[in-house]
Amino acid sequence: MKHFNIIIVLLLLWVLPNNSKAQQYTGTSGLIHIPSAEMHHEGDALIGAHFLNKNMMPDIGFLYNGEKYNTFDYYVGLTPFSWLELSYVCTERIRSKDSQGNIKWSKDRYASVKIQPLKEGKYYPAVAIGCNDVWTAAFYKDRPNVQLYYMNLYIAATKHFIFSNNELGVTLSYRHFYRDYNSKWNGIVAGITFRPAFFPQARLIAEYTGNEFLLGMDMLLWQHVRLQASMKNFKYVNAGLCLQFNLLGKKYLY
């Protein structure tokens, strides 16, 4: 039983076959819990949901009776231009439970923006800047009673290296959460990705979030179903599924 989670993730990784480059639970591109400078294709629209292990949640805001709990979020995302990504995310919070254990939920909502001012070149990396919870950041960030569970700013650089048609991606980002309770994820964060030549639709990910290591994999099935599964510290599973459509009618292998 100890390795049950690992077996599930490995099964998912092996069974589920197309491209992903998503920090999927935010509806934008990235790795698992850290942003990258990669972008979705122009015209990509996403709608999906993600199971979030309690160990992935901010330290306050998602507590019930003083304890963290597993939850999920859902989102829509759009890449209107090759250099711009937008998304809108609702994360479920337990508001109350009755004596029968029925849960009443509320939501934490945030919008994300990601801009890629520099595309990747032969000798230099792509660079992107972004912000989660833009609306709150713009209008409410100076009010101490307004919680900014996901509000962060980042700058990321990503470079890919090709060898024998395999693709190795290296990402280095600097991220800053606005509130102290997420400071464990502040500073330099980094990750590597590997896309095998024999199966380029899939991508293996390893990353350091500033506080923990995550391993995972993502892929795009049948050009429309995007999946991501990951583990934090080899123990705690997160997984999500979203539907993806290219509104320009283009088809991509990944």
Partner 1 sequence: MHHLYSSLFKRPFLWFVILLAFLCTGQPKAIGQTNTKGIDFFSGVDFNFRDINYKTQYEFLIRLSPGFKWSFGDHWQISGQVFIPIVNQYGNSYKYVHLNIFDLSKELRLGSLYLKASAGLFSSSRYGLDLKAFLPLCDWFAFEGQAGVIGSVYMTPYWEIVAPNRFVGTIGGDFYLPRWNTQFRGTIGKYIYNDFGFEMEIMRHFNHATASIYGRWNNYDKFDAGFRFVIALPPYQRKHRMVNFRPASNFRISYTVMYHQYTNRMYRTDPEENERDGWFSRDFLQWGSHTMEPDFRIIEMNKKAKGDKE
Which residues are near partner 1 by CB under 8 A?
A: 43, 45, 76, 78, 80-81, 86, 88, 95, 104-107, 109, 135, 139, 247-249
92 φ/ψ angles, rounded to the nearest 5 degrees? -80, 135
By beta-carbon proximity to partner 1, the closer residue of 148 and 217 is: 148
**Which uninterrupted H or E stretch holds 128?**
strand 126-132
Whether residue 168 contacts residue 192, with contact meaning beta carbons closer than 8 Å, is answered with yes
Question: How far apart are CB 103 and partner 1 at their closest, in Å?
Answer: 10
By beta-carbon proximity to partner 1, the closer residue of 143 and 235 is: 143
Question: How far apart are CB 214 and partner 1 at their closest, in Å?
Answer: 29
- What is the rounded distance in angstroms from the CA atom of residue 52 to the CA atom of residue 49? 10
By beta-carbon proximity to partner 1, the closer residue of 9 and 46 is: 46
Question: How far apart are CB 106 and partner 1 at their closest, in Å?
Answer: 6
Question: How far apart are CB 86 and partner 1 at their closest, in Å?
Answer: 7
- What is the rounded distance in angstroms from the CA atom of residue 219 to the CA atom of residue 117? 26
Tokens standing for residue 153: 């700013």
Residue with tokens 């980002």: 173
Question: How far apart are CB 47 and partner 1 at their closest, in Å?
Answer: 10
Three-class secondary structure of residue 134 per DSSP: helix
- What is the rounded distance in angstroms from the CA atom of residue 87 to the CA atom of residue 37? 16
By beta-carbon proximity to partner 1, the closer residue of 42 and 167 is: 42
By beta-carbon proximity to partner 1, the closer residue of 134 and 190 is: 134
